[in-house]
Chains A and B, each alone.
Chain A
Amino acid sequence: MWEKTSDAKTAHFHMNLFRKRTNSNAYYSPGVDRFFAVDSLDPYSSLEIAQILSSKVPGIAVCLLAVDDLWFDNETAHQHTLRDKNVFAVGASILFSRQMPTVRKFPPNSVIKVEQPSEDFKDGNNAIAFQELQEYARFVIQAYHASKIANMYFNSLPMEEYARELLAGQVPAEFETPVDNINGTLKTGVHREITKILYTSNNSAEALERINVMWRENNTPLTLYWRAQFYNLLDVPLPAEFGNGQFNLDRYSGYIL
């Protein structure tokens, strides 16, 4: 269910050729020598998604493809690879550069279609592992964007971000600088916690269960609509335990104005 690209709900929020382009950004694994996922949203997010996936796969290259290059989607990504694989990005070839991902813009005709799977990933454990990578990558792309968009809408007080990025050196060290204003027990902030979960989970089921636990443990008034939008954008039904709209009033001061 995670194969969506331009037809995903999250695509409403991005410029992607009017929801038609499927592979503006393609995720390439040098070890497998195949693309394993695509999206058509912003490249900054693609890099962050690749960073999340770097817990599973080293050296991911996020390839920003030309509009007149081959188009493919998540169903066919693994049937495509780079024509020239020895591309340098920041001083090293993408084939053997770093654990952390790289981003590179590619000229037209950089992609070629290949009928056969990569030799070492034809069958056995590696074939299964590659299939699981594809599935998890698609899920991470959707979950990341759902979380990022929900954060954009509901984190109206990104205090830690302001303190770190815009007020560095001008905030007393003892000041509280919460990442968001949900007033739960979570210290990392909702979006950062979700990305952490995605980084360390093994599959979508595990990640979704851990995300559920996070919402449950931070069931405050200000997470009510936040989590509802997260699940809505992810196209996953709101878990039944959250359907009654109840929240923990011990974490709520009321509206005193």
Chain B
Amino acid sequence: MSIQLNETLYFSSINFNGVHNDFWTACYNETGDGGKFAIDLARRLNPNRYVTRDSSEWTNPWPQEIIPKYAMVPYDSSFKLNFSEVSDLKALDFKARINTKNERFAMMYSGGIDSTTMVVALLKNLTVEELKNVSICTSIPAIVENPVFWEKFIYGKFEIIDSMANKYHDLIVRGYTPVTADDGDCIFGTVFGIGLYHNWEVVANKAGFTESRKAEIRAIMPRFSDPEVHYTQFADLLTAYFGIPPDQKFPIVGQSAPNPKFGKLLYDKFARNAQTATVPINSLHDFFWWLIFNVKMLNCGVRGALYYNDHIEPERAIHTIENWYNDPLYQNWSMNNNNNGTKIGHTAATYKQAARDYIYEFDRNPWYRSFKLKLESMALNVVRQDIQLDSSMGRPTSRFGITKDYKLITLEQPDVQEYIRHHLNNFQITWSE
């Protein structure tokens, strides 16, 4: 047996990825409302890998706990450091590790705002000699995100590693500490929110909102990060937004239409989690920020270790790969800088403003500061990765989760399928009427 029915997980993934769609469809058609909700959540926000990082209320179908590395740091409302100070301190930590332990870092550089911040911090705070312990792991899609930065600050100055040809296991085997900014979105907010800020009228129209209701939303939407405009004022819009569209691309065979109640169930679940948060959640942007800062962050933290790695056992991979933003300073900066324009101004153009400013102070590139957008940089690599079918970890698309003792469990294992079915069938909706 690879898993007992009562075992607790550290990670789980309901994922419509083509390989196991039939399994999830079969589960859906045989399970109850709770199990259906968990699978519908993957249909709406594929994949479903959500788990709370603090004491706020969130339930999973199976017993699941947060990996201690990713537990939320206590909220300290007296925290005063700004983003630049935090970034510089993070770099100084790397400086110390280079000088005391001769540690070698492979920075996963996508050219995006989060990873450029990492490189800027190191360039600002490390000596030329110390930077010899730093390599840049990157690819063509990353270079084109900021070709000027590449030319001026990276090419010819660092050892360059091709991230298309080298997965995390390659870097770890070669003695690097891989450093990823994959958790950068978690401290600023989420594009899931930006998608609504930009496109809310389409959502409202499809949901049949009245003109007067749309006028009300139109009046307050520009203040989406204003704590005086509580997110509950958008509850009906969020419910409509969270609903599964009729043209959902992950169909469930035998179900002619998505569950019309799903949008309300998902809103209630996220709202219940926000209501019980250890951090004040007021504005609409707070609401979306909290979603990714809390329940989605584990996925951002470990997906590289679990899906872009075919040979290093999960425990070692998770604890060797460093998440740049999973740091008490960044985490507290994030909890203390809601609603002041440093995370986002009024549109996507100012998303991650504090980081844009930090980079600009160093590279003086106004194009990047004003026009850079959050892009799904990571996806560019993974869509064309080499699938090693002979890996001891199984194909990535089959990896379902890890147990509390970091044992990898896959959907190829019959007892894992039984475990999933058992818990889906017993999962109850407790957060909504």
Where the two chains meet, the residues of A that have a C-beta atom closer than 8 Å to any C-beta of B are: 157, 159, 162-163, 166-167, 170-172, 174-178, 181-183, 221-222, 247, 249-257
Between B46, B147, B155, B387, the greatest number of chain A beta carbons within 10 A of the residue's beta carbon is seen for B387
| A170→B162 contact, CB < 8 A | no
B412 at the interface (CB under 8 A from A): no
Chain B residues lying within 8 Å of A177, measured Cβ to Cβ, are 140
Contact B162 A221, beta carbon cutoff 8 Å: no
Identify 18 residue pairs between A and B in the complex whose beta-carbon atoms are under 8 Å apart, listed by A's number.
A157-B380, A163-B140, A166-B144, A167-B147, A170-B151, A172-B162, A174-B162, A174-B165, A175-B162, A183-B383, A250-B387, A252-B387, A253-B383, A254-B15, A254-B307, A256-B303, A256-B378, A257-B303
Known: A178-B164, A252-B18, A256-B307. 15 other contacts (CB 8 A): A159-B140, A162-B144, A167-B147, A175-B162, A176-B139, A181-B383, A182-B384, A183-B384, A254-B19, A254-B307, A254-B397, A255-B17, A255-B379, A256-B378, A256-B396
**Residue count of chain B within 8 Å CB distance of chain A:** 36
Q: Which listed residue (A162, A163, A181, A254) contacts B18, Cβ 8 A?
A: A254
User: How distant is the Cα of A33 from the Cα of B379 in the complex, in angstroms?
Assistant: 53
A163 proximity list for chain B (CB < 8 A): 140
B384-399 near A? 1/0 per residue, CB < 8 Å: 1101010000011100
CB-nearest residue of chain B to A178 = B384
Q: Are B396 and A254 in contact (CB under 8 A)?
A: yes
**Which 7 residue pairs are nearest across A and B when measured between Cβ atoms?**
A254-B17, A254-B397, A183-B384, A159-B140, A256-B307, A176-B164, A253-B385
In the complex, the answer to whether A257 meets B140 with C-beta atoms within 8 Å is no
B197 contacts partner chain A, Cβ-Cβ < 8 Å: no
Residues of chain A with a CB closer than 8 A to B19's CB: 249, 252, 254
Q: How far is the CB of A47 from chain B (nearest CB, A)?
A: 27
CB of B70 closer than 8 Å to a CB of A: no
Shortest CB-to-CB span from B298 to chain A, Å, is 13
State the Cβ distance, B395 to closest chain A Cβ, in Å: 8
CB distance A252 to B139 under 8 Å?
Answer: no
B385: chain A residues within 8 A (beta carbon): 183, 253
> Given known contacts A170-B151, A256-B303, A256-B308, is B382 in contact with A176 (CB within 8 Å)?
no
Across the interface, which residues of A come within 8 angstroms of B162, CB to CB?
172, 174-176
The reply to whether A257 and B376 form a contact with Cβ atoms under 8 Å apart is: yes
Whether the pair A251, B140 counts as a contact (CB closer than 8 A) is no
Interchain CB contact (< 8 A) of B380 among A167, A174, A181, A256: A181
Task: Determine the distance from Cα of A86 to Cα of B46 in the docked complex, in whole angstroms.
Answer: 65
